[in-house]
Amino acid sequence: MPAQGKTRPRGRTALLIAAAALLGITGGTAVGYTIQAGRAPTPLPPLNQPALAYPAKPLPPGVVADHQVRTDGDLRKLLLPRPAGAREPEERWLREGWMGADEYAEDFVRPNGALAYQLELGIRRTAVTSWDTGADRSIVISLTQYRPGDSVGAVEHGDGLRADAADDAGGDGEAVKGSGNGRYYVLPVWQKAGYEDLYEARAYVHRGDVLVEIHIFDSKKISGADIRTLAERQLERL
């Protein structure tokens, strides 16, 4: 089943993309990952299990780490921390913490279809972080975990998002080192008279039942190394 529409931005980014859509630049659909504004976080109930402990020493050669053990804890703790010097997001729709399935679906062009699709895939929970840095750069990272079942939600939804990004970027992007499935994309600049230039980069990668989504927005050019480094650092935490 294909992904149920691309994600839509809000705030300043929404204004720019909306104008672009009117010109046909975005093909009538908005792009970019955004978070619902004005809602308090809705944390899911805690897992009924004791605190998880991890070995301080590296695993012996030939032993594969059990990533499921790590991601069964508090997913928010696996998000990349804000770097030194980063600021609270200027855009009010960016926030920290948990995001419910309905909130996640509202960030798509067709929320009702997106919610039904996510429930079908077995969405379990989403944790998100964001920050501003430099003059105009905004970074948003989310981890979405899916329940086990016949459909591997993180894989299927990730494949759809990567296909959308490839269409918007005009190419298949580049591989995220060490992932086996992750790709990152630097999109063409969006330009319109009277508006700041808008640059965007995206990365999608899954590990086990967790899908990682990373977006960078800026008024200046974004290098592939910027989005790749974020993706690789986030992947190391899973």
Burial class (CB in 10 A: 0-12, 13-18, 19+), 92: exposed
Convert the chain into a string of H (helix), E (strand) and C (coil): CCCCCCECCCHHHHHHHHHHHHCCCCCCCCCCCCCCCCCCCCCCCCCCCCCCCCCCCCCCCCCCCCHHHHHCCCHHHHCCCCCCCCECCCCCCCCCEEECHHHHHHCECCHHHHHHHHHHHCEEEEEEEEEEECCCEEEEEEEEEECCCCCCHHHHHHHHHHHHHHHHHCCCCEECCCCCCCEEEECCCECCCCCCCEEEEEEEEEECCEEEEEEEEECCCCCHHHHHHHHHHHHHCC
Residue 28: predicted pLDDT: 28
Q: What is the pLDDT along the chain (238 residues), one digit of tens a residue?
A: 555 666 654 444 444 343 333 333 233 223 333 333 333 443 444 434 333 333 444 444 443 444 554 567 899 999 999 999 999 887 756 668 999 999 999 888 899 999 999 999 999 999 999 999 999 999 999 999 999 877 799 999 999 999 999 999 999 999 999 899 999 999 999 999 999 999 999 999 999 999 999 999 999 999 999 999 999 999 999 9
Residues in a beta bridge with 93: none
Residue 73: predicted pLDDT: 84
Residue 159: predicted pLDDT: 96
Residue 107: predicted pLDDT: 82
Residue 47: predicted pLDDT: 39
pTM of the predicted model as reported, rounded to 2 decimal places: 0.73
Q: Over the stretch 166-208, which tens digit does the pLDDT of each residue have?
A: 999 999 999 999 899 999 999 999 999 999 999 999 999 999 9
Residue 93: predicted pLDDT: 60
Residue 115: predicted pLDDT: 95
- Exposure string for 39-66, b = 16+ CB within 10 A, e = fewer: eeeeeeeeeeeeeeeeeeeeeeeeeeee
Residue identified by tokens 């992947």 is 235
CA proximity to 29, closest of 138, 165, 211: 165
Residue-range domain boundaries for the chain = 11-38+66-236
Side chain identity at 125, as an amino acid letter? R
Burial class (CB in 10 A: 0-12, 13-18, 19+), 218: buried
Residue 92: predicted pLDDT: 59
CB atoms within 10 A of CB 166: 14
Which residues, including other chains, have CB under 8 Å from residue 50's CB and lie 6 or more apart? none
